[in-house]
Structure 1
Amino acid sequence: MNNPTRCFDDDGRAKRTGTWLTASAHIITAVIGCGVLSLAWAVAQMGWIAGPIILLVFSLVTWFASALQADCYRNPTTGKRHYTYREAVRSILGGRKFKLCGIAQYSNFVGVSIGYTITASISMAAVKRAICFHRMGHQAGCHTHNNQFLIIFGILQLLMSQLPNFHKLSWLSIVAAAMSFGYSFIGIGLAIAKVAGGSNARTSFTGVEIGVDVTAAQKIWNIFTALGNMAFAYAFSMVLIEIQDTLKPNPPENVVMKKSISVGILITTFFYLLCGVMGYAAFGNDASGNFLTGFGFFEPYWLVALANIFIAVHLVGAYQVFVQPLFDFVETQCTTKWPESKFVNAEYPVKLPLYGSYTFNFLRFVWRTAYVILVTIVAMIFPFFNDIVGLIGAFSFWPLTIYFPIEMYIAQGNARKYSWRWISLQVLKYGCLIVSLVAVVSSVRGLVVGVQNLKPFQSVS
């Protein structure tokens, strides 16, 4: 007779099997996404001094705030688990802040879904263009419509979105993390080869030059957008609690999660610095918004194509890491509201080849399918890479990565009011607010300018 404790944890849920390794893989998958592709451009806006320093500052701030957040997984008095970020905010802060957190978190999930769909389609198109450049010559236009690739990515997500829950994604995150290492290494290698071969790129301590590359106003706006791009590069706090909820209870989850946070951010920062710095060294002030699809690299064409395949595969997994908590929230709300509905609650076991036993649910099928289709359509209408990335990063960084973790840490009694620790946390909180606000304004401006020349459903790489 099976021992039920072998199948369930003390809260009655399916036994958690996650380790620091799987949690690190989830973090790397969530962090190293399309954000890494814009870092060469971001460093180019700030130059050799400010660019790497600000990138390091973002990594340290994210690491610090994430460590505070990891301590919020369990209630310090009762030991009760908080299964989601919103649940932690509701339990510790309550009321209005809980509602604000929900708006910020789920809006960000939608934004990330759109951003990843756009980026994946651009990378898929870049594979076709790399082959075209090799056959037709580097002066050929080789332009291709992105819509077909947006649809392909959308179909893949329709299939992947039917996975029942976040706990089924460990294998997908490990594959996606491997892909992120792959294209990061390729991008870094191509940049090093270009520099070693004598790229003759124009670089400077202050980045793009006023009067040569941009106007004074453009320089300021681009720096603000670059701040949003860097913030987006470290966006994973909104799924941190969900990742932590996959861990075994022994050793304590917060101890294991802090180790995973340190490993994940250390690895990603190393790659970010290499991608940003080497990308800037290779292309200088002319660095494109996406340095693997801007075609500063042409040969070896197969390696450029392979890097973009890795990006697309990675984003299939990263999309799911961010969107599964949104799926779970909507489905939980529906279950609570309509507990007797078979459409909402009935599960039908189905045997699938290569997968095994799968439970089909009508609500899950209809809702998730509709969501993916809607996101794909929006991505086809607004295909702006840098400004979308900057807006998502700027909008989500302050409330989700900084404000709520600090507020929860203080509310748990870890910082006495007007003590040096409390004052330091307030300075950090409001300093990051200013950075986020200017980045939001800049990205919105960029989107407004882009929409003025927009031809819906005519995205071309």
Structure 2
Amino acid sequence: MTGGGDDDNQRSSTPLLQSTVVASSSDESLPLDHPPLKRTGNIRTAVAHIITGVIGSGVLSLAWSMAQLGWIAGPLSMLFFAFITLLSTFLLSNCYRSPDPEYGPARNRSYLEAVQVNLGERRGWLCGLVAHISLYGIAIAYTITSAISMRAIQKSNCYHEYGHEAACDFGDTYYILIFGALQIVMSQIPNFHNMEWLSVIAAIMSFTYSFIGLGLGFAKVLGDGIVKGSIAGISTSTASQKMWLVSQAIGDIAFAYPYSVILIEIQDTLASPPPENQTMKKASTIAISITTFFYLCCGGFGYAAFGDSTPGNLLTGFGFYEPYWLIDFANACIVLHLVGGYQVYSQPIFAVVEKWLAWKYPNSGFVNHEYTLKFPLLPILRLNLLRLCFRTTYVVSTTVIAMIFPYFNQVLGVIGAMTFWPLSIYFPVEMYFVQRKIGAWTTTWVLLRIFSIFCFLVTTFALIGSIEGLIAAKLS
């Protein structure tokens, strides 16, 4: 089969897949009285989902990362992670369909399901643990970043009104609570198939603030008439301090790229023909090329503009003060983008829990029944009590943790370093071995093993430095 017909329903009856917690945004997670979902996605919608998932709070830290690494290591690090991400997407896109001895090429509707089918249930559960930590951590990071951007709007207005020497200091808690309240509402969107409009809006917002950051950096370089920065990056008082900052910068870059954990969920929205993996590879190539260009420009011009004074967050650090209205607009775009980005990364967790509970309690009205609400001038709202309670609790938990650890660069570094290697390197490579039947100690096997080990060492270095930075920030 090539088009996604009866294999969906046949595959879903397998007890192993029914009873295993796997993230899915497919028709399996819908109540039995709903018609099957029609997959209508294309390259345009896939690129929008990818850009929404990739260009997030990570882009704002790239100038700071470039400042730690310098003019040679900084761009090379970004290109390295871009290449790794693209390679990972090519490997993973082929895992969407797995040969099934009874039903043919059946769909693996999520990253976790692909790992389980190819590598077994034990490694599937291990992957699930890492993947959900990653998704949950990204939700926390997006909450922090949105609050910082909302605070930056108030701060820029304060500087504009009272001067740059004014004590314009504001806390994060109030803004974190506002973002959390908004996400409680947005989290009632049932699944990926119902949020294409949100991803398109979020992708437009990401382009907007990336262009603004790029333009401001470029304008400042032209205005100053000098390109700041050095090959070695920011100098520090001790070698150990430099090492920790470099490792944290690598973690921040790692956080800025991978979207492996949501790739197959995005691919599950695509219509076929053409085959979904072909569309996904084209969409990934386009999206990663675009984001890498923005990353290099934003990071490079930000570092060139500020040199050793490059802020941790380019648009809120405060590297720019004027024009204040443009800074306000850019930060508003960041908030709107991260509203969608939060949902892109949280929907797989929502699906995982709700699907498992629907299997566990098939006769529960609380779990499976939907109430239809109709308000004037608004579309029909379908309310599910489980969805309301669980997703609200989830958002509250990310909000509370964001209030406890509101440290932008350090949190990004820890999350990026913790999840990059297992999700973008280890599992995709292992599935490639299984699918292609690569024998041990063959040339391909040895090269990929060396590659995987090298990436593991890099991300371990980044993780240690980022944890050290988080602890130091908490204690300071």
Decide which of 211, 226, 230 is 1:204's aligned counterpart: 230
Looking at structure 2, the residues matched to 435 and 354 of structure 1 have their Cα atoms a distance apart, in angstroms, of 53
Q: Which moved more, 1:138-147 or 1:429-438?
A: 138-147
Q: 2:90 aligns with which of 47, 67, 70?
A: 67
- Residues 8 and 15 of structure 1 are in contact (CA less than 8 Å); yes or no, is this contact kept in structure 2? no
1:249 aligns with 2:272: yes
- Secondary structure at the counterpart of residue 133 of structure 2: helix
- Following TM superposition, by how much is the alpha carbon of 1:443 offset from its aligned partner in structure 2, in angstroms? 1.1
Give the share of equivalent positions with the same residue, in percent: 50
Task: Specify which of 8, 30, 41 is matched with residue 11 of structure 1.
Answer: 8
What code does the residue aligned with 2:43 have? W
- In structure 2, relative to structure 1, the CA distance for the partners of 1:7 and 1:262 (3 Å cut) is closer
Deviation of 1:336 (Å): 1.2
What are the superposed Cα offsets for residues 391-443 of structure 1, whole Å, 9 maximum, x if unpaired?
11001100111111111111112533322222121111111101111111111
* TM-score normalised per structure 2: 0.91
Match of 1:457 in 2: none
Structure 1 residues 392 and 352 mapped into 2: Cα distance closer, same or farther (>3 Å)? farther
Aligned residue for 1:133?
159
| 1:359 partnered with 2:385 | no
CA distance in 2, matches of 1:265, 1:123: 25
One-letter amino acid of the counterpart of residue 231, structure 1: A
Tell me the amino acid that sits aligned with residue 227 of structure 1. Answer: I
Q: 253, 259, 265: which one pairs with 1:230?
A: 253
Check whether the contact 1:403–1:429 (CA below 8 A) recurs between aligned residues.
Answer: yes
1-structure distance, mates of 2:420, 2:370: 37
Which residue is equivalent to 2:360? 337
* 1:42 maps onto 2:65 in alignment: yes
How far 1:146 moved relative to its partner?
1.4
The answer to whether the aligner puts 1:268 opposite 2:283 as a matched pair is no
Q: For the residues of structure 2 that align with 1:414 and 1:129, how far apart are their CA atoms? A: 57
Q: Which residue of 2 aligns with 1:115?
A: 141
CA contact under 8 A between 1:59 and 1:234: conserved in structure 2? yes
Q: For the residues of structure 2 that align with 1:163 and 1:354, how far apart are their CA atoms?
A: 18
Distance 1:292 1:53 in 2: 23
- State the AA in 2 paired with 1:99: W
Q: Provide structure 1 residue ranges, at least 5 long, that are not aligned to the other structure.
A: 1-5, 454-461
Q: Match of 2:372? A: 349
1:27-176 matches, within 5 Å, as 27-77=50-100, 78-176=104-202
* Aligned partner letter, 1:25: A
Residue 91 of structure 1 deviates from its aligned partner by: 0.5
Report how far residue 161 of structure 1 moved. Answer: 0.1
Aligned residue-pair number:
445
**1:430 alignment partner in structure 2:** 453
CA distance in 1, matches of 2:355, 2:266: 18
Residue 458 of structure 1 is matched in structure 2 by none
Match of 1:239 in 2: 262
Residue identity in the other structure for 1:97: R
How far off is 1:95 after superposition? 2.7
The letter of the residue matching 1:375 is T
Residue 99 of structure 2: SS of its match in structure 1?
Answer: coil
CA contact (8 A) 1:387 1:444 kept: yes
The CA distance in 2 between the partners of 1:24 and 1:273, in whole Å, is: 19
Between the aligned partners of 1:126 and 1:31, the Cα distance in structure 2 is: 22
Change (3 A) 1:414 1:265: farther
CA distance in 2, matches of 1:152, 1:8: 43
- Give a deviation string over 1:251-291, Cα, whole Å, max 9, x none: 10000000011011000000000011111000112111101
- 1:130-185 Cα offsets, whole Å, 9 max, x none, are 11111111111211121111111111101100011111111100000000000000
Can you list the C-alpha shifts for 1:94-133, whole angstroms capped at 9, x where unaligned? Answer: 1321111000000111101110000000000001111111
Cα distance change on mapping 1:175 and 1:136 into 2, 3 Å: same
- 2:183 matches 1:183: no
Alignment of 1:261-410 (within 5 A): 261-353=284-376, 355-410=378-433
Q: What's the offset of the Cα at 1:351?
A: 1.9
Q: Deviations over 1:187-227 (max 9, x none)?
A: 0000011000116574111101234xxx2111100000111
What SS class does the counterpart of residue 339 from structure 1 fall into? coil
Q: Deviations over 1:341-392 (max 9, x none)?
A: 1111111122245552222111000000111111111111111111100011
**1:318 aligned partner, one-letter code:** G
SS in 2 for 1:412: helix
Contact 2:228-2:303 at 8 Å conserved across structures: no
d(CA) in 1 for partners of 2:259 and 2:4? 29
Alignment partner, residue 23 of structure 2: none
For residue 96 of structure 2, what is the amino acid of its counterpart?
Answer: Y
Partner of 1:446: 469
The DSSP-based 3-state class of the residue aligned with 1:410 is helix
Give the secondary-structure state (helix, strand or coil) at the position aligned to 2:169.
coil
Residue type matched to 2:236 in 1? I
Query: Could you tell me how far apart the structure 2 residues matched to 1:179 and 1:356 are?
Result: 24
Other-structure match for 1:221: 244
* Matched residue type, 2:239: A
Query: 2: distance between equivalents of 1:152 and 1:162?
Result: 17
